[in-house]
Structure formats: C-alpha cells, structure tokens
Amino acid sequence: MPLLHRFLFLRSYMLLSFCLITVCLKAQVIENNELKSTVIALQQISKKLPVEKLYVQFDKNYYSVGDTLHFKAYLLNANFLTLSNHSGLLYIEMDDVNNKSVKRIMAPIASGLSWGDIVLTEKDFSQGNYTIRAYTNWMRNFGEDYVFQKSFYISPGIEQSLLVNTAFKLTGNNLQANLLFTNLNKQLLSGQLQLQVVNDKKNLYKTTTTVSADGRADINFTLPDKTTTRHLYIIATEVGPGSSGRSATIPVFINRPDNAEIKFHVEGGTLLAGVPARIAFKATGDNGEGVNVSGSIMNNKQQPVATFKSAHTGIGSFELTPQAGENYTAVINPANKTTKSYPLPAVQNAGISLRVQTKDSLTLSIAATTVSNCYLIGEARGVVCYAAAVELKNGVVKKNIDRSLFPTGVAHFALLNAAHQVLNERMIYIDHHDNLHLIISSNKPAYGTRDSIALNLQVNDKDNKPIKGSFSVAVTDNAQVKNDHYGVNMENYLLLTSDLKDEVEDPGYYFSKNTPDVLANLDNLMLVESPVGYNWKQIFDPKLQQVTYNAETEFLVQGKVTNLLNKPVTNTEVILLSRKPVIVMDTQTDANGQFAFKGITPVDTAYFLLQAKNKRGKNANVGIEINEFKPPVFTTEHAFQTPWYVNSDSTLLTGTLGQIVKSKESAGINPKARQLKEVRINDSRIVKRSQNLNGAGESDQTLNEEDMDKAGKLTLRQILEQKVKGFSLGQVPYPPDNTGRRHRGDPKYRMSYKINEKEIRFVIDGVDLSYFYYPPDDNSTSPVGLSGRGRNSQQQPLFNSLSEDWRIYIDSYLDYFTADQIEGIEVMYNPRYNNNYINKYLSVTEQSSSFVGEKYAYIEITTRSGQGPFAKQTPGSYIYKPLPFSSGKPFRGPKYTSKNSSDAITDLRSTIQWAPNIITDDAGKANTSFYSADTPGSYTLTIEGIDLNGEPGYRQQQIEIKPK
C-alpha cells in the first residue's frame, strides 16, 4: 500500500496533529521526505506569521450626516476563528470616494473584542460615498486583502436633500438622462439647476437649465470614447436667486452589452486536449456588477460545440471536451443586443488537469499526459488539512478525501511539483452545518409603542448543547432602515468572502437555502474567484518572511532620545505628562536611546507632553523622536453606492422625514406648523478646516485666508494687535490653584493678553495652549495650565517670574507663527460663542470659580499644516497627539415610565437598540431589554457573535409593534 500523509484538523485552541498513512509503495524515501519538508514549511510559516481575521458589525446599513455609527469588532485567529490576543489595538478609518481618510480613530481590543462609535459630524462629513476600513498594525503585513472593508453612502443632513427619479438611455456614446426632481414632501421642484457630468473625478460636461413645470430636467450629452459608467455620475445643484443650494449626486448606472466583460476560468487552470473540462465564467457590466448573458461556444469552423448561460450575478459554468488544434470562441446570443465574442483559454497538448467532484463525496481527479510526480496539498484557513504524494502516469488518478478533515468554509487544493511550483489549483466550499443555533424569545406575544421589550437569547451548538460566547445585537426600525438580507454578515464573511480576493455580490444568497441550485452556484463562485493569502514563494523563501509591522498588544507612547549629532542618549530620564487624563510617568532610555510608556488608556482626544534631559540634567542639546502611527495608503476601489434619495422608496423617505420631525421638536418647533425661514445677518467669512466648537463662521470676529494673504509676513501677535478689536497686553488677576484657593505669597496680578476686560485663552487647531504651560521651577511635574502654583523648592513666591512667565510662554507661540502659516483666526468673546469653549477646556472646579467662567475670551487659530502648536518644539520636549481613542460609550435609549410615557417629544429612532457586549453564560443564556419607539410597524433584530471554539452565529428576526 502506498504512503499517505493525512493531517487532522482540530477545532480548538490546542494542537494540530498529523498521521502518516500510505500512498504509494513505489514512492522513494526522498520523495516522502520532500513532502514532509513541504508540510513542515507550511506549518512553520503559519506559526511565524499568524494571520488575524477581523469582522465588524454595524448598527445599520447607511447613515445621514449627524448620525452616530456604532460598531462591534471581532478579532480572530484566522486558522481556528478563535478570539485573538495577538493584537490589542484596532485602527478604524472612514475614507471618502477618493480613498482619502476623513476620520481615523483607535479602539482598544480586549480578548479579541472591541466596540465603539463614530459621530458623523457636519464638520467631518458631507454627503457621499465612504468606505470604512478596520485593521490592526499586524494585519498590514499581509496586504489589503486582509483589511475589513465596508462601503456606505452618507446622505446629507435633514432637509438638505432633493429626491430624484431617474431614467437613462445610452445610444452609442450619446447619454440621455431624464430626471424628475421633488422635495421631501414630494412637491415638484421649480427654478434653475446646474447639471454637471463627472466621470471618476473628471468633469465632462456642465450646463444650467430651468426645471420644467412638471419638475423635469433633461441632459443629452455625448460621452468620450471608451468611457465606462462605473464612476459616472451627475451632480445637480439648485442655483439662481433665492435658491437653497441643495444638491444631489446621481450615479449613472447603465450596463451596455457591448461593454460587458466576460472572463473564463478553467477548473484546475488547464484546458487539456482530450480531457473533459469544466469551464466557469463571470460577466460584469460597466458598473462592476454581474450581468446575465447566454451564448454558444464555437470551434474553428464556427460550429457550436457547447452552450452557456449565467445562473446568478453573471456567473455560470459549462462542460467541454477540447480537441487538439482547436481554438474556441464564446459568442453572445443576439438576444443580448450584442455580437461580441470572447476567446477561450488556449488548448494545451501536454500538461496536468485537476477536477473536483463535490456533490456527494469529495473526489479529486488528476489527469496527466506525461509521467510526473507531484504533491497534493489541501489547506483551509492557512492550515494543512491533507497532503499526499501523487505519482502520475498516462491516464487519470482519483483521490477520495474525507470531508471531515476540513472545517466548514473555503478549502484550497494545490498540485505542486518538486520545485514547489504550483501546477493546478482549485477551491471548494465545505459545509458541515455546524454553525451556532441562536434562539430568540420575547417576554410578550406582542408589543405596543413605547413598550418595554425584553428578549432572551439561547445559544446552542450543532449538537444542541449550550454555548458560552460573545454577541452583539442591533434592532432597527423597518420603516426607516432597509435591511439587506443577502448582504455581508458574520457567517458569510468569516467562512466565505474573507477568503476570496474579489468582492462577492449578494454573499448571503449562498447561505440562504441548501438547495441544488444554490450549491451549484456556490461551486461556480469557487471556480471564478481567487484565494486570499497564498504566496508559495514566501513559504520557501525566508527573505520574503520578514515582518514590517509589529503586533501592538496595547497603546504605547514610545520613541527615542538623541543628541545634536543624532546619536542615541542612553540612561537618560524621560517624563510623560498629561492633563486629560491626569498622568505623570517617568522612565529611562535603554542602550539604544529608546523608551516606552505602557499602561496608558488615552481619552477621546489626548495630548502628551514628553520631556527629556541629558546626563547633566538639562534639556538642551537633546531631542525626542516619537514612533507615531503612519497610516497605510489604500488602493482598493469599491463600487459607487446609490444614495437613498435616488429612486427612493417609502422606507428611506419615511426615515428622513422622521429625522426632520424629531429635529424640529427638539428645537421646540411644532412640526405641523409652517416655519418661516430664519433670517440671520453675520460675518459671511468662514475659515476652512477650522475646529471652531460653534461651527463654521460662528464667532464674534473672523479673519479668513484672504485676510492672512494681505497680512504678508506679520507674526500672529502683530496680526492680533492690528486686526482684533480690543486686543491688548495688561494685568489680570493671578489665578488660584485647581481647588479655587489662593496662597500666601502669590502675586496679585500677572501679565497676559486681553480683549477688553477678558483674558484670552489661545487654541491652535483645537489644542488649548494652557494645557502645556508649566510655571518656572514647578517641582510638581503635573500639568497645571492657568492654575499653576509656580513655587520653588523652598516654597518661596517667585513674584517676578510668576507675573511674567505666562506672557513669555504665550509670546513664544504668537511670535513663532506668521501669516503665511495661518489659514484663519476666530474670536469668541460673547457668551454665545465662548460657552462651548468654557465647557470643554475648563475643569468643573474652574467653571464654578468666581474668578473664571465668563471672564475668558477664546481665540481659535487654524494653521495651514493643521499640526497645531506641535510645529514648534522646545529642545528636549515633544507634544504628542495620538489618534482619537474610542472607548465605546453606552448606547442611550429612552426609558419610559408611567410618568413620562406621554412625553410630547416624538420618538422616531431608527436604531432602536444597540447592545455590543452580550455574553452568554454556561447555560448558553443571555438577555437584553429596551423600549419601542412611537411608530407602529416592525423592527428587524440582528444578532451576531462567536463562541470560544471559533463557531460563528448569525440570525435575523422580526418584532411587530402595534398601535397602543
């Protein structure tokens, strides 16, 4: 009996065991040793470069400007899908349609779990397409294929949308667009529109037209040759006297048969003469989505030898026995309105083919035209589950393989020669039907509006045994949120799409039913897709196994101290200080001048001051370098998402109208009353990219970019002296300490800048300069801001230095920045504008003190670099601003009682409940509770999660809400 190498896949945290079984008596010892070395190499790289897999659940599928996006992240070991402890820090970013990051945050990962939220503020987000990307630093070693990605369309803020119904017709290159515009109340639009045709950021055409009496506006435009419609869209903007400036972005989705692209994939990779072959294909249209096609396969004599027809999302397959000397062509049926033809892969007279039969059992058929020895490797999730030496003779070798060797999910087979070159590859999907069973029961048979809803969760495994695990629950209103039942969820992502390179349309379809048609379409998908992560050269070449990005187990502040010659300064003290949160830490540099601070949990917006001294205790002649996170640049494109207001349905319209009602009620406005437009007269100047807490242009005085250009090379202090009304240098009362008390020996006054009678606090790019002020000889080494004591070691008052030092500290910034470095200046003097600054930048004690409160004015300076005061560094110091940190604030839903159940504010939540941290107990049980909102109808409950053994679970269920 021949020798077989069978490798048993164990679903646990522990070990992967291997058994040797016979394959071929004639196999030489060296051949078996080569197979062993191949498998060992695969095992070693799996241990050296363990792969992380990340899945993120969101509370809903799309958002509007002003919404809060809630998420739960599951970081898993890719091989067994168990919760990972390899990384402890998660990066999440929102990128716009140009792949430019708009928002980037960090979130802690504990035992493979993390959750948090992103507020989609008007300052950061406008309407448009966005892609959210989530990854760890370690995942960056493996490329973009491993990064979790999901695209959203963020619609404009309430009452800022136009509704558009579209009809497109393309004749040759002539595009005819018929557009019907209405407002949110379905009233026809009137007035003028500017219509702009854009293709992949390139402006093709612009015109201004008057909307007809029936609300229509049409475009007739000739597209340049070879223009695809994947990134083609029209921007319609209201213009003219009295217009609101509302706009709509309208994607142009037209699938032209002549532009359809069809790719053919031979099973196993080789079309071998005389050997029956299965050929799969995928047809995509202009917009990148699948299109259904049918046609015939023609030989050299233009005779049909086979037919083909796509079965699902443009994917299908057919059988063909190729003949030597023939060239085959696929011709699309005339019914598809095209005569385009596509050549099939060339027929090979010699080689090896690989076929897999998956219907009843797992059978691999290997056909060869020459005698050759090779190795058959079967992997799943990067783990070798099967390996065998194969001796090929003229004819076919068949291998019957036990399915139980592989876990549920994508399995990848490869034939390798002795030089470790891949001869053939084939992916299949194996389903043991062993996912978790989620059972949801409620405490009542039916619910009314503003009713208390309690849900009980029971989680069992495939054998109906209770399971402990971590789960997240989202409940959304069906009247406002349209759920995609075929979209991405935890099961289809972890077990299918994350192992495939290309984006899969309707992944939920392949898990919807266990019917022959669905199974056949799933196998077709396996034939046309490419696997993620298989780089055979890397496995056998240590030079290709180098790690670029280290795993981050926690948030660290780390760096290096150097001297003037850029040499490391060893065994020197480094101090880290922070005011929010209050942190005072110190450490010493190592032999390489490096240092690290651990155990820090930064807040949403944290700033750290680091100070280093040379061996003589001075901070001169030393510098600090911080290992700051350098974000990746992503290149992956995602299809343009259709905005909700284009051909909108009643669900999405109801959601937006609900937002309007809720907003008006929050503002104390009767939603049924006719509201007159608010008339406001203020300074129309706005500072771009300002972090003004009141919003763009909301200030007592604004100096914008045009003012800065006129100022030439004036310093910031000179600009303020010349341009800001009431600006002066004078005496102000010396501040008390952080408890509001004064001390004997304190000076009565100190020098500071004022606007009229109010002392100024300066904020540069959102950073309050007082956070990093340290009075002279202050031995407390704690950030004290304006309330610093400033005493020497003998506790004697330092009258002169204390009264002047604050002004000297501020001057170092006012004299450093010049007009060409500044984009704008905003003055917040009156309570209408400075209250938000007082609430953010002053402590509770300071706010309650009679000394502070409204006695401060604020000046917000926006620099062109956006780096705040960090552009200016004092020798031996470094101000470090890490990425914002999301700590996962609790979801706050209303709680109705008998006393407040008749509250007049209308409850029109779209996300009814978000519970990211539901843990089942030993009996597999957990629960969650919440209150329904004001609209009768139905809710969709979505629960996802994973157990400790790496089994995912997913379930959607409906909850009916009846009128009270």
**pLDDT tens per residue, range 583-616:** 899 999 999 999 999 988 777 777 788 889 877 7
Query: Could you report how far apart the first and last alpha carbons of the chain are, in Å?
Result: 76
φ, ψ of residue 237 in degrees (nearest 5): -130, 130
Give the whole-angstrom CA distance, residue 897 versus residue 912: 17
Quote the pLDDT of residue 24: 31
Tens of pLDDT, residues 10-58: 233 323 333 322 233 233 333 467 788 888 888 888 888 899 999 999 9
Closest CA to 959 of 452, 435, 438: 452
φ, ψ of residue 813 in degrees (nearest 5): -95, -40
Give the whole-angstrom CA distance, residue 678 versus residue 686: 19
Tens of pLDDT, residues 672-683: 433 333 333 344
In sequence order, the 6+-apart residues with CB closer than 8 A to the CB of 803 are 734, 747, 749, 750, 751
Q: What is the DSSP code (8-state) at residue 90?
A: E
Closest CA to 306 of 283, 334, 278: 278
Quote the pLDDT of residue 175: 86
Quote the pLDDT of residue 653: 47
Q: For residue 194, how many C-alpha atoms fall within 13 Å in the half-sphere facing its CB? A: 12
Quote the pLDDT of residue 619: 67
What pTM does this model have? 0.80
Closest CA to 689 of 866, 868, 819, 881: 866
Give the whole-angstrom CA distance, residue 828 versus residue 832: 8
Asked if residue 282 has pLDDT above 80, the reply is yes
Element (H, E) at 521: helix 516-528
**pLDDT band at 954, cuts 50/70/90?**
very high
User: What's the rounded mean pLDDT across residues 699-716?
Assistant: 90
Give the whole-angstrom CA distance, residue 154 versus residue 292: 30
Tens of pLDDT, residues 724-742: 999 999 988 877 665 556 6
Give the whole-angstrom CA distance, residue 878 versus residue 869: 10
Q: How many residues does the chain have?
A: 964
User: By percentage, how much of the chain surpasses pLDDT 90?
Assistant: 44
Quote the pLDDT of residue 17: 30
581-585, Cβ contacts within 8 angstroms, sequence gap of 24 or more: 581/606, 582/782, 582/783, 583/608, 584/781, 584/782
Token readout for 107 is 């979130």
| Helices 799-814 & 716-723 angle (0-180, nearest 10) | 90
User: By percentage, how much of the chain surpasses pLDDT 70?
Assistant: 83
Question: Sign of the C-alpha dihedral, residues 752, 758, 763, 768?
Answer: positive
Bridge partner residues of 372 (DSSP): 392
Quote the pLDDT of residue 2: 31
Quote the pLDDT of residue 736: 66
Amino acid identity for residue 306 in this structure: A
Q: For residue 631, how many C-alpha atoms fall within 13 Å in the half-sphere facing its CB? A: 23
The more confidently predicted of residues 393 and 408 is 408
In three-state form (DSSP H/G/I as H, E/B as E, the rest C), the secondary structure along 227-294 is CCCCCEEEEEEEECCCCCCCEEEEECCCCCHHHCEEEEEECECCCECCCCEEEEEEEECCCCCECCCE
Closest CA to 623 of 572, 568, 561: 561
Closest CA to 383 of 411, 364, 408: 411
Give the whole-angstrom CA distance, residue 589 versus residue 560: 8
Element (H, E) at 707: helix 705-711
Token readout for 295 is 């046609």
Work out the angle at residue 246's Cα, subtended by the Cα atoms of residues 243 and 247, and round it to the nearest 5 degrees. Answer: 130
The more confidently predicted of residues 84 and 22 is 84
**pLDDT band at 328, cuts 50/70/90?**
very high
Is residue 213 packed enough to be buried (19+ CB in 10 Å), middle (13-18) or exposed (0-12)? Answer: exposed
For tokens 């497109």, the residue is 168
CA 485 → CA 56, 525, 961, distances in Å?
A: 17, 19, 21
Is residue 319 packed enough to be buried (19+ CB in 10 Å), middle (13-18) or exposed (0-12)? Answer: exposed
Amino acid identity for residue 183 in this structure: N
Tens of pLDDT, residues 183-211: 766 678 888 899 999 887 788 999 999 99
Quote the pLDDT of residue 904: 62
Asked if residue 135 has pLDDT above 60, the reply is yes
Token readout for 859 is 């000046």
Give the whole-angstrom CA distance, residue 386 versus residue 8: 7
Highest mean pLDDT range out of 175-184, 224-233, 778-787, 840-849? 175-184
Closest CA to 871 of 717, 767, 762, 752: 767
Say if CB 287 and CB 640 are below 8 A apart: yes
Highest mean pLDDT range out of 439-443, 612-616, 866-870? 439-443
For tokens 């507020």, the residue is 119
Query: Is 67 in a helix, a strand, or coil?
Result: coil
CA 124 → CA 79, 128, 167, 235, 619, distances in Å?
A: 38, 12, 33, 21, 38
Quote the pLDDT of residue 874: 67
Bridge partner residues of 152 (DSSP): 130
Across the chain, what does the average pLDDT equal? 83
Asked if residue 642 has pLDDT above 80, the reply is no
CA dihedral 381, 383, 385, 386 (to 10 degrees): 110
Any idea which of 14-23, 351-360, 445-454, 854-863 has the lowest mean pLDDT? 14-23
Amino acid identity for residue 397 in this structure: V
Quote the pLDDT of residue 923: 97
Bridge partner residues of 623 (DSSP): 562
Quote the pLDDT of residue 257: 62
Rg of the chain in Å (alpha carbons): 33
Token readout for 935 is 């609209």
User: What's the rounded mean pLDDT across residues 854-867?
Assistant: 87
Token readout for 950 is 């790496």
Asked if residue 542 has pLDDT above 60, the reply is yes
Quote the pLDDT of residue 161: 61
Q: Is the peptide bond before 2 cis (omega within 30 degrees of 0)?
A: no
Closest CA to 625 of 885, 876, 884, 883: 876
User: What's the rounded mean pLDDT across residues 511-534?
Assistant: 92
Closest CA to 240 of 279, 280, 210: 210
User: What's the rounded mean pLDDT across residues 786-814?
Assistant: 59
Q: What is the DSSP code (8-state) at residue 643?
A: P
258: left (phi over 0), alpha (psi -120 to 50) or beta: alpha
Token readout for 620 is 């001169």
Cα 606 to chain centroid distance, Å, stands at: 22
CA dihedral 929, 934, 937, 938 (to 10 degrees): -20
Closest CA to 714 of 808, 821, 807, 809: 821
